């Protein structure tokens, strides 16, 4: 068996809930988010709230708000030579306008990850990244979730990125990465060779190796505490079960576009 890019190549060689939480202010803030999404800009109240809770400047948040509105009301953004444009994109079905629930749907978000962040990963991980952004679990990514999610994507601390990756890998959101979840995630990391009679046996071996690396309390599953400790000791284990964070170069390109 051979290993695909973004899997456990380096690995073999050698209760997060806070970052994307809802804004304080409940219904009032939700109304601000809805108004900002429709207007394509942030109110002073929402802008200040996002500035305090993210790693963005005021100018960058305003740019992200404008970008968000273009994504929601028109088409996906494509970056060419570091410049942002909004070309027509056939076949994209946009979410209908619906006050607070208006936002980016899965199709548009996937196009964004591919075209802007050059993120090419497994289907299950693409879906889980979307869910990590969609903290309200309404099927679309709202303005506040967009800004907070990109804060982790682009400038997240090591702790924030550790929490984000764990959330992505915890497929059923029960606070643990189980052996079944590891098997499901790692199965797509292997390319079957002609001589392989049972490729699943190789995946099972990988799961056992992962448990030895990550399961510090030896209970047969990986808690966030286990994962946090393992990644702190060996940072290369951060994306042990597949790529779910963008590389440095597309991040810098995106940030430079915000400030241009």
Residue 176 phi/psi, 5-degree rounding, is -140, 150
Count Cβ atoms below 10 Å from residue 58 Cβ, excluding itself.
13
**What pLDDT does 187 receive?**
86
Count Cβ atoms below 10 Å from residue 197 Cβ, excluding itself.
6
**What pLDDT does 78 receive?**
41
The length of the chain is: 260
**What pLDDT does 13 receive?**
34
Strand 2-3 relative to strand 78-80, pairing: unpaired
Alpha helices in 6-142, H assignment, sequence order: 9-13, 26-39, 44-53, 58-73, 106-115, 123-133
pTM of the entire predicted model: 0.73
Spatial distance between the Cα atoms of 2 and 202, rounded to a whole number of angstroms: 10
| Element (DSSP H or E) covering residue 180 | helix 179-187
**What pLDDT does 170 receive?**
97
CATH 2.60.40 fits 26-154+246-258, yes or no: no
**What pLDDT does 195 receive?**
57
**What pLDDT does 121 receive?**
76
The pLDDT tens digits along the chain (260 residues) read: 444 444 443 333 333 333 333 333 444 444 544 444 444 456 888 899 999 999 999 999 999 999 999 888 854 344 444 344 433 333 333 333 333 347 899 988 998 898 899 887 788 899 999 999 998 888 999 999 999 999 999 999 999 999 999 999 999 999 999 999 999 999 876 655 555 566 688 889 999 999 999 999 999 999 999 999 999 999 999 999 999 999 999 999 999 998 87
Strand 222-223 relative to strand 176-177, pairing: antiparallel
**What pLDDT does 44 receive?**
86
The alpha carbon dihedral of 134, 136, 139, 144 has a sign of: negative
Spatial distance between the Cα atoms of 144 and 152, rounded to a whole number of angstroms: 13
Spatial distance between the Cα atoms of 44 and 91, rounded to a whole number of angstroms: 36
**What pLDDT does 188 receive?**
73
Spatial distance between the Cα atoms of 7 and 97, rounded to a whole number of angstroms: 38
**What pLDDT does 198 receive?**
67
Count Cβ atoms below 10 Å from residue 85 Cβ, excluding itself.
10
User: Where are the domains positioned within the chain?
Assistant: 26-154+246-258
């Amino acid at each position: 068996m051979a290993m695909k890019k973004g899997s456990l190549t380096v690995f073999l060689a050698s209760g997060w809930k806070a970052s994307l939480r809802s804004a304080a202010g409940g219904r009032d803030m939700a109304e601000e988010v809805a108004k900002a999404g429709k207007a394509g800009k942030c109110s002073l109240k929402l802008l200040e709230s996002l500035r305090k809770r993210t790693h963005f400047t005021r100018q960058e948040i305003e740019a992200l708000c404008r970008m968000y509105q273009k994504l929601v009301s028109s088409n996906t953004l494509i970056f060419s030579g570091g410049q942002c444009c909004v070309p027509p994109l056939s076949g994209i079905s946009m979410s209908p306008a619906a006050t607070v629930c208006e936002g980016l749907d899965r199709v548009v978000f996937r196009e964004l990850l591919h075209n802007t962040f050059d993120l090419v990963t497994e289907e299950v991980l693409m879906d889980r990244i979307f869910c990590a952004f969609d903290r309200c679990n309404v099927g679309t990514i709202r303005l506040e979730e967009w800004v907070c999610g990109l804060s982790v994507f682009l400038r997240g601390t090591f702790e924030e990125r550790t929490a984000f990756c764990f959330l992505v890998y915890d497929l059923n959101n029960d606070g643990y990465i189980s052996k079944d979840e590891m098997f499901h995630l790692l199965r797509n990391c292997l390319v079957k060779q002609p001589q392989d009679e049972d490729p699943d046996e190789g995946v099972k071996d990988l799961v056992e190796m992962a448990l030895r690396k990550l399961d510090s309390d030896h209970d047969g599953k990986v808690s966030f505490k286990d994962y946090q400790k393992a990644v702190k000791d060996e940072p290369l284990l951060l994306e042990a079960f597949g790529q779910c964070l963008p590389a440095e170069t597309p991040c810098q390109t995106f940030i430079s576009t915000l400030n241009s």
